[in-house]
Structure 1
Amino acid sequence: MADYAKVIINGSPITKSNFKLHNINGRAILPNNSGKYHDRYALYEQEIALLARSQNPDIIFDESLIAILRVFYKSEKRHPDTINITKSIFDGIEKSGLIVNDAQITRIFTEEYYDNKNPRFELELFAESKYNFNFTITQKPIPSQPKLYSPIKKGLFNNNLENTSSKIDLTTTKSKKNTTKSQQTDNNKTIPLLKICTICKKNITSDDYVKADSGKTLICKKCFNKLF
């Protein structure tokens, strides 16, 4: 029985943490032939599955595992969150048949690096029955330059809360959110916003459609059936 495997997948790693698409039964799915940008998530999993199996043709782990994941990004400034990248990777590893279920990964250590000429990830799997995993954290004799991060999103309130002119009227904010769902007319009547299918670009006249990306992507039933 094998107790070790290594997988190397070249190319910039991607994450699907912010993409959600469900079928009419509420099951999460990944389209791969819609011709749209979100096909890349499923295609990336397939690439991982094929290469992981070709690199380890005779290995099937059925016990708990220790994983060491090293992710090499092309750019230090723009890349996915490393904390989210593991989901896409291990979904592809599971599809390869190298492991039975990604729940087998009981310990994982992830490291982030940068290689603008050869972005990739390297994954090592160790059978927990044969290997121990230990690590230590030590204080540097000479501190290095800190790597600082800026907030991604600005807060709702300014830092100076004492300045009343900088405060946000929550009632007004809530009202604006509600008005974005419909268009107001002079007679206080509402006209629903048109729903457009992302694939065929036609109006969706019924309530039978699929939402993705937190409602930003809409797919009509006809196009959805063609995808799957």
Structure 2
Amino acid sequence: MSSYARVVVPGSPITKSNFKLHNKDGRAILPSNTGKSHDRYAIYEEQIAYYSRIQNPGVILDESLIAVLKVYYKSEKRHPDTANITKSIFDGIEKSGLIVNDAQITRIITEEFYDKENPRFELEFFGESEYEISYSVRKKEVSSDKKIYFSLKKSKVPKTSDTSKKKTNNDDLLKDTNLCEFCKKKINDSNVIKANGGKTLICRSCFNKLF
């Protein structure tokens, strides 16, 4: 049985959404036909599964694995966190049947690159029965320019000494956010389904349409 596989998937890599629902059996689902941005994560997994299988026909990796992932983003300034992108990719690989379970991946090396003309990811799997990995980190002889990152924390609501005005503003914010994610209609406490840790609200009518 093979102990090596390589997968290349074209297109800008994306991370898995935190948006999740659970069906009546308690199983987590990732919608793909809501017409919302959530769909792209499920579709991306299917795309990964497709390329994994056609590029490695008949291959099933069932041992512990070393994974080397090279992610090529279209833009250096705007792209997902590379640390979070492996979940989307490995879920798609598992769905293809190329690997049995992503728990097999015991060692991961992830590298970030940029390719405006050909964004993609390249992933190689090496079976630990035949391959081993070594790496080193060396100090540069000549330092390069620093790549500086800035905080993207959301700004807080300005404080005010007028407590009545503050309460009114908070009530307005609550009204604005108490909307169904799909139909955008206002929903009350008795008709709400919460997802994504309570951040996403869905009316029961839209929720039932997902099944």
Please say if 1:218 is aligned against 2:201: yes
With the length of structure 1 as denominator, give the TM-score of the two structures: 0.79
- Answer with 1 or 2: which has the greater Rg: 1
Secondary structure of 2:143 counterpart: coil
Separation of aligned partners in 2, 1:177 and 1:37: 33
Query: What does residue range 17-36 of structure 1 map to in structure 2 within 5 Å?
Result: 19-23=18-22, 27-36=27-36
Equivalenced residues, count: 205
- 1:79 aligns to what? 79
Query: What does residue range 63-212 of structure 1 map to in structure 2 within 5 Å?
Result: 63-153=63-153, 180=170, 182=171, 193=175, 195-205=178-188, 207-212=190-195
Tell me if structure 2 keeps the 8 A contact 1:23–1:210. no
Deviations 1:132-159 (A, max 9, x none): 0101111222121221212222798xxx
With the length of structure 2 as denominator, give the TM-score of the two structures: 0.85
Please say if 1:49 is aligned against 2:49: yes
What do you get for the CA RMSD once the two structures are aligned? 2.9
Deviations 1:83-124 (A, max 9, x none): 000011001111011111100000000000000000000000
Greater CA deviation, 195-204 or 1-10? 195-204
Deviations 1:57-83 (A, max 9, x none): 111111100000000000001100100
Q: Which residue identity lines up with residue 69 of structure 1 in the other structure?
A: L
**CA shift for structure 1 position 131:** 0.2
Separation of aligned partners in 1, 2:41 and 2:154: 28
Tell me if structure 1 keeps the 8 A contact 2:23–2:29. no
Greater CA deviation, 141-150 or 61-70? 141-150
Tell me if structure 1 keeps the 8 A contact 2:20–2:29. yes
Distance 1:131 1:178, change over 3 A: farther
Structure 1: any 5+ residue segments left out of the alignment?
A: 157-167, 184-191
Separation of aligned partners in 2, 1:177 and 1:92: 46
Tell me if structure 1 keeps the 8 A contact 2:16–2:88. yes
Distance 1:39 1:145, change over 3 A: same
**CA shift for structure 1 position 208:** 4.4
Separation of aligned partners in 2, 1:22 and 1:177: 32
